[in-house]
Structure 1
Amino acid sequence: MAKLLYGAIGCLVLLVWLPMSALSQPDTLRITGSSYFDEKRTLVLCNYISAKLKIPVKYENIPSTKHMHELLRQGKVDLAMMNTFQYVFAKSDHITNIEPFVILGDSSGKAKTYRSCLIVRPASPYRDLGQIISAADRVKIDFAYVASTSGHIVPRMQLATSGIQYPEAQFESVHFSGGHLEAIRSVIGKRADAAFVSIDDLINYQLTGQIAKDAVRIIWTSYPITQSPVVIRRNLPDALKQQLRSLFLNLHHDDPAVWHHVKENWGAVGPVRFVDALATDFVSVQQAADKVGKLVYFLNYYEERLAQQSLELAKGDGLIDGQRAKIQQQKEVLDKQIIQIRTQTASLYLLGLIVIGIGVIITLVVRSSRSKQRLNDKLILKNDQIEQALSDLKLAQDTLVHSEKMASLGLLTAGVAHEINNPVNFIFTGINGLEKNINALMTVLTEMEKMEDLPVEQIAMHRDTIELVKKNNRYVAVKASLSEFIDGIRLGAKRTADIVSGLRDFARTDESERTRAHIHDCLDSTLLLLQFKFKEAGVQLSKQYGDHITEMACYPGPLNQVFMNLFTNAIQAIEARTDGTEGLVSVTTRQIGEKIEITISDNGTGIEQGILAKIFDPFFTTKQVGEGTGLGLSISYGIIRKHQGTLEVESEVGRGTRFFIYLPINLTLT
Structure 2
Amino acid sequence: MNNITTEWLQSVEVLQDVPIDQLQWLIDQSEQLTIPAGGFLFKNGDPLVSTQFIVSGVVRLCRIMNDNKAYEVARFDDKYIIGYLPFSRGLVSALNCEAVVDTVIMSFPIGKMNELIRNYFELTQALVHVMTNRVRNYAAIVQQNEKMVALGKLSAGLAHELNNPAAAVVRGAVTLKKHLHLLPQSFKDIISIRMSPEDVDIVNERMFAVLNRADKPVLSLLERSDKEDELTDWMDNHGIANSVELAENLVDFGFTVSDLESFKEHIPTVHLSAIFMWINNNLVTEKMVTDIEEASSRIAHLVGSIKTFTHMDQGLEKQLTDIHSGINNTLTILQYKIRKGNVELVERFDKDLPQIMAFVGELNQIWTNLIDNALDAMEPNQKGILEIYTLREGDYIQVCIIDNGPGIPEAVMSKIFDPFFTTKEVGKGTGLGLDIVSQIIRHHRGNINVSSEPGRTAFVVHLPVNG
TM class by shorter chain equals 0.5 to 0.7
Partner of 1:328: 83
The answer to whether residue 339 in structure 2 is matched with residue 515 in structure 1 is no
| 1:383 to partner: Cα distance | 3.6
- Contact 2:407 2:452 survives alignment (8 Å): yes
Q: Cα–Cα, structure 1 residues 658 and 329, in superposed 2: closer, same or farther, change >3 Å?
A: closer
- Correspondence 1:248-259 to 2 at 5 A: none
Partner of 1:620: 421
| 1:480 to partner: Cα distance | 3.2
- Correspondence 1:185-196 to 2 at 5 A: none
| 1:443 to partner: Cα distance | 5.2
- Correspondence 1:75-474 to 2 at 5 A: 317-318=73-74, 326-328=81-83, 333-335=107-109, 338=112, 376-377=119-120, 380-442=122-184, 471=274, 474=277
Q: Secondary structure in 2 aligned to 1:513?
A: coil
CA distance in 2, matches of 1:585, 1:323: 51
| 1:403 to partner: Cα distance | 2.8
The match for 2:363 among 535, 559, 571 is: 559
Which structure has greater helix proportion?
1
Q: Secondary structure in 2 aligned to 1:535?
A: helix
Partner of 2:299: 496
Q: Structure 1, unaligned stretches of length 5 or more?
A: 1-313, 343-371, 452-466
Task: Report the residue type matching 1:665 in the other structure.
Answer: V
Q: Cα–Cα, structure 1 residues 338 and 382, in superposed 2: closer, same or farther, change >3 Å?
A: same
Task: Report the residue type matching 2:377 in the other structure.
Answer: A
CA distance in 2, matches of 1:409, 1:638: 19
Partner of 2:459: 659
Q: Secondary structure in 2 aligned to 1:317?
A: strand
- Contact 1:615 1:633 survives alignment (8 Å): yes
Partner of 1:572: 376
Q: Secondary structure in 2 aligned to 1:411?
A: helix
- Contact 1:570 1:602 survives alignment (8 Å): yes
- TM-score calculated relative to the size of structure 2: 0.57
- Contact 1:583 1:604 survives alignment (8 Å): yes
The answer to whether residue 440 in structure 2 is matched with residue 639 in structure 1 is yes
Task: Report the residue type matching 1:664 in the other structure.
Answer: P
- Contact 2:186 2:277 survives alignment (8 Å): no
User: Could you list the per-position Cα deviations for residues 264-285 of structure 1 after superposition, in whole angstroms to 9, with x for gaps in the alignment?
Assistant: xxxxxxxxxxxxxxxxxxxxxx
| Identical amino acids, percent of aligned pairs | 30
Stretch moving more, 331-340 or 392-401? 331-340
Task: Report the residue type matching 1:593 in the other structure.
Answer: G
The match for 1:506 among 286, 298, 309 is: 309
Q: Cα–Cα, structure 1 residues 570 and 632, in superposed 2: closer, same or farther, change >3 Å?
A: same
Q: Secondary structure in 2 aligned to 1:548?
A: coil
Q: Secondary structure in 2 aligned to 1:540?
A: strand
Partner of 1:594: 395
| 1:574 to partner: Cα distance | 1.5
- Contact 2:374 2:403 survives alignment (8 Å): yes
CA distance in 1, matches of 2:177, 2:146: 46
Task: Report the residue type matching 2:310 in the other structure.
Answer: A
- Contact 2:401 2:459 survives alignment (8 Å): yes
| 1:400 to partner: Cα distance | 2.8
CA distance in 2, matches of 1:562, 1:532: 19
- Correspondence 1:29-48 to 2 at 5 A: none
The match for 1:648 among 426, 449, 463 is: 449
| 1:471 to partner: Cα distance | 4.5
CA distance in 2, matches of 1:568, 1:410: 12
| 1:393 to partner: Cα distance | 3.8
Q: Secondary structure in 2 aligned to 1:318?
A: strand
Q: Cα–Cα, structure 1 residues 323 and 409, in superposed 2: closer, same or farther, change >3 Å?
A: farther
Q: Cα–Cα, structure 1 residues 625 and 315, in superposed 2: closer, same or farther, change >3 Å?
A: closer
| 1:520 to partner: Cα distance | 0.8
Q: Cα–Cα, structure 1 residues 337 and 590, in superposed 2: closer, same or farther, change >3 Å?
A: closer
CA distance in 1, matches of 2:321, 2:394: 18
Q: Cα–Cα, structure 1 residues 384 and 551, in superposed 2: closer, same or farther, change >3 Å?
A: same
CA distance in 2, matches of 1:340, 1:595: 43
- Contact 1:440 1:473 survives alignment (8 Å): no
RCO greater where, 1 or 2, for CA within 8 Å and sep 6 or more?
2
CA distance in 2, matches of 1:329, 1:525: 43
Partner of 2:215: none
CA distance in 2, matches of 1:448, 1:644: 72
- Contact 1:409 1:507 survives alignment (8 Å): no
The answer to whether residue 331 in structure 2 is matched with residue 527 in structure 1 is yes
CA distance in 2, matches of 1:620, 1:442: 68
Task: Report the residue type matching 2:292 in the other structure.
Answer: I
CA distance in 2, matches of 1:479, 1:388: 74
Q: Cα–Cα, structure 1 residues 620 and 328, in superposed 2: closer, same or farther, change >3 Å?
A: same
| Equivalent residue pairs, number | 301
| 1:626 to partner: Cα distance | 4.7
Partner of 2:410: 609
- Contact 2:397 2:464 survives alignment (8 Å): yes
CA distance in 2, matches of 1:339, 1:646: 34
Partner of 2:38: none
Q: Secondary structure in 2 aligned to 1:327?
A: strand
Q: Secondary structure in 2 aligned to 1:546?
A: coil
Partner of 1:302: none
- Contact 2:146 2:436 survives alignment (8 Å): no
Q: Structure 2, unaligned stretches of length 5 or more?
A: 1-69, 87-105, 194-269
- Correspondence 1:477-496 to 2 at 5 A: 477-496=280-299
Q: Secondary structure in 1 aligned to 2:162?
A: helix
Q: Cα–Cα, structure 1 residues 396 and 543, in superposed 2: closer, same or farther, change >3 Å?
A: same
Flag the structure with larger Rg: 1
- Contact 1:516 1:551 survives alignment (8 Å): yes
What RMSD in Å do the two structures reach over aligned CA positions?
3.7
CA distance in 1, matches of 2:80, 2:421: 20
